[in-house]
Amino acid sequence: DADVTQTPRNRITKTGKRIMLECSQTKGHDRMYWYRQDPGLGLRLIYYSFDVKDINKGEISDGYSVSRQAQAKFSLSLESAIPNQTALYFCATSPSLQGTEQYFGPGTRLTVT
């Protein structure tokens, strides 16, 4: 089984709808991250969490919210989806040590019409 899983893998939704993307990990890592990737661009950080009680905004948090339900689960919500939130969304995890790699989920392709 994959260490970092994301659901759903693909989602089409309409403008104004609320949508939640979920991420689960079995690596036992404290740190979790949400990124978005737009075509031809690198990843931009939306939110990150260093433990269950620690949530931080990233570079592009406007229009998004997150919930860290447990060490293993980190959800990203779009309260009212808009077309420019159409993107590929990735969850990642890392150990609580500075200078370590991140482990990525397979991604969720979200289309807002």
Partner 1 sequence: SQQGEEDPQALSIQEGENATMNCSYKTSINNLQWYRQNSGRGLVHLILIRSNEREKHSGRLRVTLDTSKKSSSLLITASRAADTASYFCATEGQGAQKLVFGQGTRLTINP
The residue ranges that bind partner 1 (CB under 8 A) are: 4, 33, 35, 40-45, 48, 50, 58-59, 88, 90, 92, 98-107, 109
Q: By C-alpha distance, which of 31, 8, 34, 39 is closest to 110?
A: 8
CA distance 14 to 25: 29
Residue 26 or 80 having the CB closest to partner 1: 26
Judged by beta carbon, residue 19 or residue 105, the one nearer partner 1 is 105
* Closest to partner 1 by CB, 86 or 103: 103
Supply angle C-alpha 23, 25, 26, rounded to 5: 160
Question: What minimum distance in Å lies between the beta carbon of 98 and partner 1?
Answer: 6
Least Å distance, CB 83 to partner 1, is 20
CA dist., res. 63 & res. 15, Å (int) = 13
In Å, how far are 20, 22, 33, 48, 64 from 82, measured between CA atoms? 14, 19, 22, 22, 11
Provide the minimum distance between the beta carbon of 74 and partner 1 in the complex, in angstroms, as a whole number: 14
Smallest separation, CB 21 to partner 1 (Å): 14
